[in-house]
């Protein structure tokens, strides 16, 4: 066994019952919550932490700690109870008492950054197990680079809901293929969901499913702690990812409610809690813990502190120390800024006419040469997304030294795995797919934005401009839906310079970013040698007017070219049109009022984007115009589509004339 001291079975029982007591008391005090999973999995969690986990509450973020992910995030009180028992200084009993209350760290579902030791925000089922795959992959990649400084495990508690959600199939398939042997999933196999028994909705043999994906699979009685410990030990000895089916009784210890769906997501009630205290031989008042139990949990923290101190000593003497520490820090913004600035100078001279997906590939040659911690990838669209720069080696089973992940046709898993890689630390992930498939990735993108993790989502084929593949692949509402996510930066660059600038901003930002990139070639629009990253302001005047402007044309991406052509048409009619490029709405919204007003001015405005108008309120007033899409696209060559849907310089010029003087006056 991997136990540092002899196990006292009676004391370990009390340690598990402490989790149960805190869970049922906190849920009762809140009058809401989920006591069933924490009470059912208390034995498994106690064995895991008492005999295997290496964490140090006094230094909760040390890089070589084991990771614990509560994928069944509704069982959050298991996490909070353990953290209180381990002595995390931000998880006092006041926080446990304030479960689910305003301002507390004990939110309804675990939230990354709200309390120490929470590795990932969970709650939407399936996200936790998939993010954990990213953590386990990052551990293997780090081990390949710094083997003397990286040697830890990723443990997951997952429920039936986590395994029913489709993302779990993508996750277990990828993890099994890559043989992520440092990943152990403990399945809370209690046979219960909110509606009732799992036989209402599924007949899947989960053990066979995991085995088919290449996992090491075992099944145990989740209340037999020695069996659980033996299974974890066996899992650690296998080089495949492991799933342990822990057969448990939901709400274990509540004599009249355990084993039923009523205990899943509701307080037990005073009478049942009193009966549970008697059943568990727990004669203590609510939120009260005996000294022997707190001492036993404190011993786990002390062992973790010793492990962390030993690791710190290895770090000081390691030849890999400098490279390892550099990888843990934020990317070298100054070096990247200098490299991108020099590259943009070359672009203004070369003036390439390329699709922005190609411009992204060109920029990545600079990015990946400057930042060694970037990890690329694609959902089986490498040749279309152009996310692989020269010399990037593929990550393969048992070979994790490369920098490129083949995620397969798994957009949802790719987004969540990248969250896990970023959360693990040491790497900056980016991955590609088509913008039309952003909806497959959206739940994980949303969680990444909620957590503020630095992930770059490269999404190409960004409009009807992709042409003949038709409306199934032509995104029209996706920009609006992504811009609606708080804390997510959405970039739609207009040429190679703006694309490079977008990469610089995305890689030096705290949260996630989306780069929406064209399939069709776009001309070079930024042809002046400039020292500043103009995209950093979100929107800027690309072409000013020599006199006061009559109209402001605001466009993104491929439509900036259309705006410039429309301005030329208007100039022929002695109408002064300023052209504003708006590569990132979110950055423009952060600018002060004076800057925004200086860019937009008071003249009539027209927004131009081959997408729906929703979200353009940042730029457009009700009386202003918009040239774009009002429905789905069609299958045809790109020029024909733009003409068919009226996204042309002529249409923009005509609308400008209507807004300025009225349609009748221009006839």
Of 311, 316, 370, 309, which Cα lies nearest the Cα of 338?
Answer: 370
For position 666, what pLDDT does the model report?
A: 39
Q: Kindly tell me if the per-residue pLDDT of 119 is higher than 50.
A: yes
- Statement: the pTM of the whole predicted model exceeds 0.85: yes
| Nearby residues of 195 by Cβ (< 8 Å), 6 or more positions away | 201, 261
What count of other Cβ atoms lies within 10 Å of the Cβ of residue 201?
Answer: 12
Over residues 374-383, the mean pLDDT reads 98
Question: Where are the strands (E) in 117-233, listed by range?
Answer: 154-158, 183-189, 192-193, 196-197, 216-221
pLDDT for residue 412 is more than 80:
yes
Res. 268: pLDDT tops 60: yes
Q: What pLDDT sits at residue 290?
A: 98
Per-residue pLDDT averaged across 289-310, rounded? 98
Domain 10-314 has CATH 3.50.50.60: no
**What are the structural domain ranges in the chain?**
10-314, 333-517, 538-666
3-class secondary structure, 373: coil
Reported confidence tier of residue 3, pLDDT bands at 50, 70, 90:
very low
Give me the pLDDT at residue 418, please. 98
Measured distance CA(49)–CA(231) in Å, rounded = 14
User: Chain centroid to CA 75: how far?
Assistant: 21
Determine whether 425 is exposed, middle or buried from the number of CB atoms within 10 Å of its CB (0-12, 13-18, 19+).
middle
Taking only the tens place, the pLDDT of each residue in 471-486 is: 999 999 999 999 999 9
The band of 662, judged by pLDDT with boundaries at 50, 70 and 90, is low
For tokens 């809140």, the residue is: 30
Residue 35: name the closest of 4, 77, 65, 81 by CA: 77
Percent of the chain with pLDDT over 90: 97
Where is 326: in which H helix or E strand?
A: helix 321-328
* Mean pLDDT within 268-291: 98
Question: What does residue 230 show for φ and ψ, rounded to 5 degrees?
Answer: -65, -35
pLDDT, tens digit (0-9, with 9 covering 90-100), for 325-366: 999 999 999 999 999 999 999 999 999 999 999 999 999 999
CATH number of 538-666: 3.40.50.920
The greatest distance separating any two alpha carbons of the chain, rounded to the nearest whole angstrom, comes to 93
For the beta carbon of residue 379, count every other beta carbon within 10 angstroms.
26
Sheet bearing 577-581, strands edge to edge: 540-543, 577-581, 551-555, 605-608, 625-627
Residue 658's pLDDT is 96
DSSP category for residue 112:
B
Mean pLDDT of 205-216: 98
Measured CA to CA, the distance from residue 91 to residue 598 in angstroms comes to 48
In angstroms, the Cα distances linking 49 to 33, 54, 66, 73 are 23, 8, 10, 18
Q: What is the DSSP string of 380-442?
A: S-HHHH----TTPPBPBTTB---SEEE--S-HHHHHHHHHHHHHHSS-EEEEEEEGGGHHHHH
Note whether 645 and 562 are within 8 A (CB): no
DSSP 516-568: EE-SS-B-----S--SS-GGGGS-EEEE--SSS-SEEEEE-TTHHHHHHHHHH
Mean predicted confidence (pLDDT) in 550-559? 98
* pLDDT tens, residue by residue, 37-64: 999 999 999 999 999 999 999 999 999 9
Contact (Cβ atoms closer than 8 angstroms) between residue 32 and residue 273:
no
Task: Tell me how far apart the alpha carbons of residues 305 and 513 are, in angstroms, rounded to a whole number.
Answer: 36
Tell me whether domains 10-314 and 538-666 share a fold: yes
> Which position among 12, 111, 272, 411 bears the catalytic label?
411
Q: Token match 């030849």: residue?
A: 319
Residue 667 confidence (pLDDT) above 50: no
Q: 317 pLDDT exceeds 90?
A: yes
pLDDT band at 274, cuts 50/70/90? very high
Is residue 226 annotated as part of the catalytic site, yes or no? no
616 pLDDT band, cuts 50/70/90, is: very high
**pLDDT by residue (tens digit) across 279-288?**
999 999 999 9
Which DSSP state fits 54?
-
Average pLDDT score over residue span 609-635: 97
Nearest CA among 11, 24, 9 for reference residue 276:
24
Give the C-alpha separation, 297 to 348, whole Å.
62
Structure tokens at 612: 């729906």
DSSP three-state, residue 275? helix
Note the pLDDT of residue 5: 55
CA 579 to chain centre: 35
- Does 643 score more than 60 pLDDT? yes
Instruction: Return mean pLDDT, the chain.
Output: 96
Q: What's the pLDDT score for residue 1?
A: 42
**Dist. CA 340–CA 360, nearest whole Å:** 12
- Per-residue pLDDT band for 531 (boundaries 50, 70, 90) equals confident
**CA angle (51, 140, 443) in 5-degree steps:** 90
Look up the CATH architecture of domain 333-517: 3-Layer(aba) Sandwich (3.40)
Residue 562 has pLDDT above 50, yes or no: yes
* Residues in Cβ contact with 251 at an 8 Å cutoff, skipping those fewer than 6 apart: 35, 36, 39, 40, 257, 258, 259, 260, 263, 264, 268
Residue 160 has pLDDT above 90, yes or no: yes
d(CA 25, CA 267): 9
Residue 81 has pLDDT above 60, yes or no: yes
């Amino acid at each position: 066994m991997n136990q540092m001291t002899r196990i006292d079975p009676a004391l370990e029982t009390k340690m598990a019952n402490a989790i149960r007591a805190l869970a049922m008391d906190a849920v009762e005090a809140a009058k809401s919550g989920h006591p069933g999973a924490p009470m059912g999995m208390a034995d498994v969690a106690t064995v895991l932490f008492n005999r295997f986990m290496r964490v140090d509450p006094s230094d909760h973020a040390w890089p070589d700690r084991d990771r614990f992910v509560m994928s069944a995030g509704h069982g959050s009180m298991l996490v909070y109870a353990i953290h209180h028992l381990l002595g995390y200084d931000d998880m006092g009993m006041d926080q446990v008492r304030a479960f689910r209350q305003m301002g507390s760290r004990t939110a309804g579902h675990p939230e990354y950054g709200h309390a120490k030791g929470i590795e990932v925000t969970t709650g939407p089922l399936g996200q936790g197990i998939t993010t954990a795959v990213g953590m386990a992959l990052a551990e293997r990649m780090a081990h390949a680079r710094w083997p003397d400084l990286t040697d830890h495990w990723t443990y997951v508690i997952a429920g039936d809901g986590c395994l029913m959600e489709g993302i779990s199939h993508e996750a277990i398939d990828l993890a099994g293929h890559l043989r992520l042997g440092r990943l152990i999933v403990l399945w809370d196999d209690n046979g219960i969901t909110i509606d009732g028994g799992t036989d209402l909705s599924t007949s899947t043999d989960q053990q066979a499913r995991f085995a088919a994906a290449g996992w090491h699979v075992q099944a145990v009685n989740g209340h037999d702690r020695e069996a659980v410990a033996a299974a974890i030990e066996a899992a650690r000895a296998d080089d495949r990812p492991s799933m342990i089916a822990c057969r448990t009784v939901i709400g274990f210890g509540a004599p009249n409610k355990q084993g039923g769906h009523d205990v899943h997501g509701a307080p037990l009630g005073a009478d049942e809690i009193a009966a549970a205290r008697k059943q568990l031989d727990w004669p203590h008042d609510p939120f009260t813990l005996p000294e022997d139990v707190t001492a036993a949990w404190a011993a786990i923290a002390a062992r973790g502190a010793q492990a962390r101190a030993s690791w710190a000593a290895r770090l000081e003497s390691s030849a890999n120390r400098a490279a390892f520490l550099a990888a843990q820090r934020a990317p070298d913004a100054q070096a990247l800024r200098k490299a991108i600035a020099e590259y943009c100078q070359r672009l203004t001279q070369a003036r390439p006419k390329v699709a922005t997906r190609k411009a992204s590939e060109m920029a990545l040659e600079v990015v990946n040469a400057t930042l060694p911690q970037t990890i690329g990838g694609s959902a089986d669209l490498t040749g279309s997304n152009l996310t692989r720069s020269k010399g990037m080696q593929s990550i393969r089973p048992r070979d994790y030294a490369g920098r490129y992940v083949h995620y397969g046709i798994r957009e949802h898993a790719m987004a969540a795995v990248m969250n896990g890689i970023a959360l693990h630390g040491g790497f900056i992930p980016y991955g590609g797919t088509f913008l039309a498939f952003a909806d497959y990735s959206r739940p994980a993108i949303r969680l990444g934005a909620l957590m503020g993790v630095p992930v770059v989502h490269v999404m190409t084929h960004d409009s009807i401009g992709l042409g003949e593949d038709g409306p199934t692949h032509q995104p029209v509402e996706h920009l609006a839906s992504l811009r609606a996510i708080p804390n997510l930066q959405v970039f739609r660059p207009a040429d190679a310079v703006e694309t490079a600038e977008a990469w610089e901003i995305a890689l030096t930002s705290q949260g996630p970013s989306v780069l929406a990139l064209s399939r069709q070639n776009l001309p070079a629009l930024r042809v002046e040698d400039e020292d500043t990253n103009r995209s950093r302001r979100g929107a800027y005047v690309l072409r000013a007017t020599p006199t006061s402007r009559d109209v402001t044309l605001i466009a993104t991406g491929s439509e900036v070219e259309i705006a410039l052509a429309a301005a030329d048409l208007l100039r022929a009619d002695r109408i002064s049109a300023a052209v504003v490029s708006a590569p990132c709405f979110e950055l423009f919204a952060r600018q002060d009022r004076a800057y925004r007003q200086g860019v937009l001015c008071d003249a009539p405005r027209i927004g131009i984007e081959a997408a729906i108008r929703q979200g353009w309120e940042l730029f457009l007033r009700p009386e202003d115009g918009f040239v774009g899409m009002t429905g789905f696209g069609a299958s045809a060559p790109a020029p024909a589509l733009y003409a068919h849907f009226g996204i042309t310089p002529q249409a923009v010029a005509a609308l400008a004339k209507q807004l300025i003087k009225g349609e009748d006056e221009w006839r």
